[in-house]
Amino acid sequence: MNNEFKEEPLLTAYINNQLNKKPIEFTAEIELTDFKKAQDGRARAFGKVFNDSRKRFEDGVEIITFWVINAETYKTDGYIKTQNSVYKIREPK
């Protein structure tokens, strides 16, 4: 193997990606109430927003996001990404 980890190439790519990842900066938190995906693949999230760093919304205000970029992976990602925002998914209290 020609890599510093002396591992298989795919494993090395995974390790390198994990080491280079920067922490995600969340714009706000969202308690999801619904997630709708259209037939064309575009999706929007519905929920209550909290801790909005841009002070656009007060805590608990219900919003509908713009188009969700990570519609296929948002559950495993733990966040919802739109063009201008990243919402950390939080469980209802």
Largest CA distance in the chain: 54
In this prediction, residue 56 carries a pLDDT of 95
Place of tokens 């969340």: 26
Contact 90, 26 (CB under 8 A): no
Q: What is the pTM of this model?
A: 0.75
Closest CA to 52 of 19, 22, 85, 23: 85
* Per-residue pLDDT reduced to its tens digit, 24-59: 899 999 999 999 999 999 999 999 999 999 999 999
Rounded to whole angstroms, the Cα distance separating 72 from 77 reads 10
